[in-house]
Amino acid sequence: MKKIILTLAMGILLMSCSNEPIALETSTTAKVVPTSKTLITASTTMPSSGYSLSTYESCTTNCIAAESSTYFEKTDSKIVSWGGLNNDKFSKTIYIKYFNTRTEFKLLVLSTEKFADLVINGASVGIGAAANTWGEYSIPLESGWKACDTKSIHLQVAGDGPQGVFDINYGLVGMCASGCETVFSGKAISCGTSREVEYTFTSKEAISNLKIQGGLTNFTGANATVTVTGGTLNASQRTPGGSSNRVITVEGSVDACEKITINIKWDSSNSGGVITGSWSASGTGITVDEILGLECR
């Protein structure tokens, strides 16, 4: 009888010990984000990580905007089971998120059972967290890091059952390009008697009165074929006096940093040499050099 009572008392003692509060470990490069300790099930919402995160597409597609605190996460999870004849008496699910900011690579870990440590590339970092609570570890990015530099980590999540093991590969997301400059350029594409040229224009600021104009030399046949992409623009053409030249005018509005392309095809009576006149771009706030006649080489 005494043996039965003692066994029962020991069971009660063990149960009470398992419900003791769990101390969370921290370091100077890590923090633990407190969240609800409710067990995560299909009907339970994942606790917030405390960050504004979007789905990672690629290091060439995504970029971190100036002044933005939204970053691009990759995620993974693993169910670890153990105990019993079929090694399924106990189980836990481990979730991870990882992403980079402007200065750090962030690794967030959450387990449905508490974990005691994160082992990164074989080295313990001393970060643990209570059940259903995000633990966070930060790795400073090297000076001069670039978009698409690869961060590779072998992660072991240790404590309360067997380890959960993850292999992490992440192409760092760079900063978005900041603004643009006003640029006007042109190039000859095809010469001979069938000619083709292309002009491009980009404005640092939005313009409502853009005017791009220039001439084509030794023009023959019907009107030139003028194709304009970008902006809200109209193209017209005229023959000055009785000359064999043709003047092309493109007018309208463009947004800031919007690229305008003007492709022109026409027939000519001669080949070689300079095939256009000078071209200019004008409008409020525009200061660019005119483009002298394009030459076939």
**What integer is the mean pLDDT of 4-18?**
36
pLDDT reported for residue 271: 64
pLDDT reported for residue 202: 92
Q: What is the pTM of this model?
A: 0.50
CA distances from 211 to 207, 239, 251, 276, 277 (A): 10, 18, 5, 17, 16
Q: Which of 135-144, 156-165, 191-200 has the lowest mean pLDDT?
A: 191-200
pLDDT band at 32 (very low <50, low <70, confident <90, very high): very low
Instruction: Quickly tell me which residue has 């005691």 as its tokens.
Output: 116
136, 32 Cβ separation under 8 angstroms: yes
More confident residue, 45 or 147: 147
35-67 pLDDT per residue, tens: 333 345 444 577 899 999 999 999 999 999 877
pLDDT band at 30 (very low <50, low <70, confident <90, very high): very low
246-266 pLDDT per residue, tens: 899 999 999 888 899 999 998
Q: What is the DSSP string of the chain?
A: -HHHHHHHHHHHHHHHHHTSPPPPP-BTTEEEE----PPP-TTSPPPP-SSEEEE---TTT--BPTT--EEEEEEEEEEEEE-TTTT-SEEEEEEEEEEE-SSEEEEEEEESS-B-EEEETTEE----B-TT-EEEEEEEPPTT--TT-EEEEEEEEESSSSPEEEEEEEEPP-BPP-----EEEEEEEE-TTEEEEEEEEE-SS-EEEEEEEEEESSEEEEEEEEEEESSEEEEEEE--TT-S-EEEEEEEEE-TT-EEEEEEEEEESS-SSB-EEEEEEESTT---PPBPPPB--
CA distances from 182 to 51, 205, 257 (A): 36, 8, 8
204-246 pLDDT per residue, tens: 888 999 999 999 887 777 789 999 999 999 999 998 876 778 8
Cα-only R_g, the chain: 33
Q: CATH 2.60.40.1530 region(s) of the chain? A: 183-282
**Closest by CA position to 172, among listed 67, 74, 95, 29:** 74
Round the average pLDDT of the chain to a whole number and report it: 83
pLDDT reported for residue 272: 64
Cα 98 from chain centroid (whole Å): 14
Q: Which CATH number fits domain 183-282: 3.10.20.600, 1.10.1280.10, 3.10.450.50, 2.60.40.1530?
A: 2.60.40.1530
Which range of 66-75, 81-90, 111-120, 239-248 scores highest in mean pLDDT? It is 111-120
Amino acid at 39: L
